[in-house]
Amino acid sequence: MRRWILAGVGICLGMALLWTLWPQESQSVGQARSNSAGALDPAGRSGSWSGLPWAGSQAALNPQSPLTPEAQRQREQRLIELRERYERAEQTYNTYRDATRYPHDSRPIADHADRTRPFDPAVEDKTMRNERGEPVKAVKIRTSQSHVFLSGADAAKLSIQAFDEQG
């Protein structure tokens, strides 16, 4: 039963496809001759193509021919319109991007390790630099601070250590 339904649907789709692709013979021979002086469609058949953008310009059908002055003016006008549309779209995008940006102090929590663990000691390892700002590869500097936030009578212990390759 299912095969018969699928076969029927396939036949209907095939008929619809043939109906849409079958050449229309509704014009008489006299009408076809009168239209043959007009524009041709891309397949070379005669017919009325006046509703299409390229119908008024034979230059659009033949890419090797130069554009007429009117066609060139229309092309430049269209280019100006497209540039204006692009500028409006870019301005809209920039406005939206700026309006939806997070505030500067609203950053991912991974950027604020001191806030996630406020009572852990702060330790930072860096390479020592010479007077020209170039790194000295043999010496590492470690700075540490026992507390990040202090309150009242709290005291913090600060330390600076230098290590060579052997530690």
Give pLDDT tens digits for 111-129.
777 778 777 788 888 888 8
Reported confidence tier of residue 36, pLDDT bands at 50, 70, 90: very low
Instruction: Check pLDDT > 90 for residue 82.
Output: yes
- On whether residue 39 sits in a domain, the answer given is no
Rounded to whole angstroms, the maximal C-alpha distance in the chain is 108
Q: Output the six-digit token pair for 162.
A: 């230098």
**Residue 5 in contact with residue 13, Cβ under 8 Å?**
no
Do 118 and 155 lie in a common domain?
yes
**Residue 147 in contact with residue 154, Cβ under 8 Å?**
yes
pLDDT given for residue 135 in this prediction: 86
Do 95 and 121 lie in a common domain?
no
Structural domain boundaries enclosing 151: 113-163
Q: List all residues 6 or more positions away from 120 whose beta carbon is below 8 Å from its beta carbon.
A: 148
- On whether residue 90 sits in a domain, the answer given is yes
Do 85 and 127 lie in a common domain?
no
Do 124 and 158 lie in a common domain?
yes
Do 124 and 84 lie in a common domain?
no
| Separation of alpha carbons 162 and 142, rounded Å | 6
Comparing C-alpha atoms, which of 29, 28, 54, 24 is closest to residue 39? Answer: 54
